[in-house]
Structure formats: structure tokens, C-alpha cells
Amino acid sequence: MKTAFFNTKPYDRRFFDKANESHRHELHYFEPHLDETTLPLADGYKAICVFVNDQLNEHLISRLAKMGVRLIALRCAGYNNVDLAAAARHGIMVARVPAYSPYAVAEHTLALLLALNRKVHKAYNRVRDGNFSLDGLLGFDIHGLTVGVIGTGKIGVIVTRILKGFGCEILAHDPYPNPEYEKLGARYASIDEIYSSSQVITLHCPLNPDTYHLIDETAIEKMQPGVTLINTSRGALVDAKAVISGLKSGKIGHLGLDVYEEEEDIFFEDLSGLVIQDDVFARLNTFPNVIITGHQGFFTKEALANIAETTLENLTEYEKTGTCSNQIAHTPPSK
Ligand code: NAI
């Protein structure tokens, strides 16, 4: 199927071209995000393929529908960037890649935690600079800590399994308990118990109206002093300004972020020659006890191969049957 790919990088093309050897779709790659100015590029395509930071609002979707687009294939798991109600109204199917490598994101979560608690980011620079002093590098054991896992889906369960291996006690919160989590011998707890009992809190729930700014000033207030907070899920789960206050007061001892609320104007691009205009992000980036990575949790070769394969399977299935097993159903809010 003739498909317009937005927001593509050379690595996307490499993995999609390889996967397409067996699918044989007509793939056209465009570098820019999908937005008002680049929208005309979608003209003449029945399907478009977009990524996490392409914002598909009602206006854009209605114009895509008028151009004849019938399928939006997300090459990611999260879909908070698409107005599903608008897509349903305009007769556009939205499909995604529900799982590609939950290990990639779970392992990146651990990478952030381990780098933070042993200050690997500082040690690396010191040793490169011939400074072998240990002053200021004092860490803490992960073994024996209580870790709060918010969201026990595919990624949260793997994070739990890994942390159980470290000898942590895990408390989790999820409105939909997962038997896979319970099998690991970990228990569910209220969100308040997680805040008050955990030395480490890690977020693995989707971004939706219920979870927007889940970690705000009130939540931080309830946490243990010196808590380590990790977010590899979606940026807007965390109120960045509240987190900055928490870091300044010492309430938050360490912060690891792979996602940021306003990341769409920053991440995935080389801005090293420019001045960052986002003051909140710039402030976050100054703390010695903060590590930010640019939404790379998914970025392993296994995950990229799976993303490409599943996205092309979605196109193939839609082309052959007019349906797609990985369609995201729009459920209207109950009255
Ligand atoms: P999943 O759908 O398997 O699990 C999400 C879990 O969160 C579900 O068990 C759900 O019941 C739970 N949940 C929903 N509302 C909640 C709430 N209010 N409080 C607590 N839990 C709640 O999703 P998966 O694959 O584990 O991914 C988790 C998140 O990770 C995704 O939503 C996505 O935003 C993010 N992600 C980040 C990537 C990265 O590169 N950094 C890559 C892939 C996903």
C-alpha cells in the first residue's frame, strides 16, 4: 500500500526497508513532523505512518480524511498524540504497535536508576579528565529498597521482575491488576502507600486524562525525602515545575527522565549548536542528580525491527481485509 511516513530518520528507513523486502508496500519517507505545513505531503496516500510526537488533532484529522487518508499507522505503542474520537468521526482507522520490546524500555529504566544511584554520569567525566577522586560519588544499594511501580502492564511487569532480582520489595498501583505481576510475588498498594513507602518510584502507565500530571506538587509532598523518581513512560505524567521545586528542596533525591512534557520541540533532533528556549527543560538539565535521555527507551535494534515488522503487517492486514488486529478502538466516555 502506498504509505507516507512522517518524521523519519535514517535508522527508521533502514529497518523499514529491510522489513519491507517481504511486504512490498510502496513507502515514501518524509523527514518533517506531520503538522499544518507538512500536511499537503499526505495528499494521494491512503495510509500515513507517524511517530510519538506527531500531534494528530481534530483539525489535522479532518483534513487528512478529505485527502482520502483512511489509515493512521502509529509506529509506537502509546497513542496519546491522536484524537481517537476525531479519527472515528472521520472514518479513519488508527493502528499501533502494541508491543515491540518491553524489555528495551524496562532495561532503560534500570539503566537510568543504576546510573543515578552510582553517579555513573559524573564518574565517567571525572575519569576521562584524570580525576579519580571518589568524593561526591557516594551511592546506595538497590538491594533491599522498596520500589513503587505505577502501571503493571508489559513494561511494569518486566521492571518488577528485574528489580525482584535485585532483592527489592515492589509495591505497585494499577486500576487493572495484572495476574502476571501478582505471580512475581509482589503486591498492589494504594497510590498513597506507594508515595509514602517507596524509596524509588517508576512510572509505567499510559498518559491519559486520569494520569496527566499524576506526579504533581501534592504527590511529591507525600513521598519520602530523597526519593528517586524515574519516568520512561510519557512526559506529561510529571509536572516538571513541581519536580524542579522538589529537586531544589531535596525532597526528590534523584530524577531519571527519558520523556519530557514538551519534548516534541526538543527531542530527536541535534540542537547542540542552538540555545534551548525551554527554560523548564534547561533548568532540569542543570541538576547534578538528574539524568535526562531523549526518548531512547525504545531504541534497540530488536525493538526497531519489531516496530517495522508489526507496522508493515498492520498495513498488509488493512490492505487485504479492511480491518486491523492492532486497531485502537475509540471508546466514548461513559455518561
Ligand atoms: P501497557 O498498556 O502494557 O501497560 C500500561 C499499564 O498501565 C496497564 O496495566 C494499565 O492498566 C495501567 N494503567 C492505566 N491507567 C493507570 C493509572 N491511572 N495508574 C496506574 N496504572 C495505570 O503498556 P506498556 O507497554 O507497559 O507501556 C507503558 C508506557 O510506556 C506506555 O503507555 C508508553 O507511554 C510508554 N512507552 C515508552 C517508551 C519509551 O521509548 N520511553 C516506549 C514504549 C512505551
- For ligand 1, what atom is nearest to the CA of residue 232? 41
**Residue 5 to residues 30, 49, 70, 100, Cα–Cα distance (Å):** 6, 5, 14, 19
For the entire predicted model, the pTM comes to: 0.94
- Assign 289 to helix, strand or coil: coil
CA of 79 to the centre of ligand 1 (A): 11
CA of 37 to the centre of ligand 1 (A): 31
**What domains are defined for the chain?**
2-100+301-321 (3.40.50.720), 102-292 (3.40.50.720)
Residue whose CA is at the smallest distance from ligand 1 atom 31: 206
The 10 Å Cβ neighbour count of residue 61 is 23
- For ligand 1, what atom is nearest to the CA of residue 102? 25
Mutate to test the pocket of ligand 1, among 204, 299, 310 (most ligand atoms within 8 A of CB): 204
What would the grid cell of residue 323 be? 480491518
Ligand 1 site residues (CB inside 6 A) read 77-78, 102, 105, 150-156, 173-176, 178, 204-207, 210-211, 232-234, 258-259, 295, 297-298
Query: Active-site positions?
Result: 234, 263, 295
What would the grid cell of residue 274 be? 542552538
What would the grid cell of residue 106 be? 524496562
**Rounded-to-integer distance, Cα 38 and Cα 31, Å:** 10
Please check whether residue 194 is in contact with residue 166, taking contact to mean a CB–CB distance below 8 angstroms: no
Overall size of the chain counted in residues: 335
Q: What is the pLDDT along the chain (335 residues), one digit of tens a residue?
A: 999 999 999 999 999 999 999 999 999 999 999 999 999 999 999 999 999 989 999 999 999 999 999 999 999 998 999 999 999 999 999 999 999 999 999 999 999 999 999 999 999 999 999 999 999 999 999 999 999 999 999 999 999 999 999 999 999 999 999 999 999 999 999 999 999 999 999 999 999 999 999 999 999 999 999 999 999 999 999 999 999 999 999 999 999 999 999 998 899 999 999 999 999 999 999 999 999 999 999 999 999 999 999 999 999 999 999 999 999 988 766 54
- Assign 269 to helix, strand or coil: coil
154 CB contacts (<8 Å, ≥6 apart)? Answer: 99, 102
- Assign 124 to helix, strand or coil: helix
CA of 105 to the centre of ligand 1 (A): 11
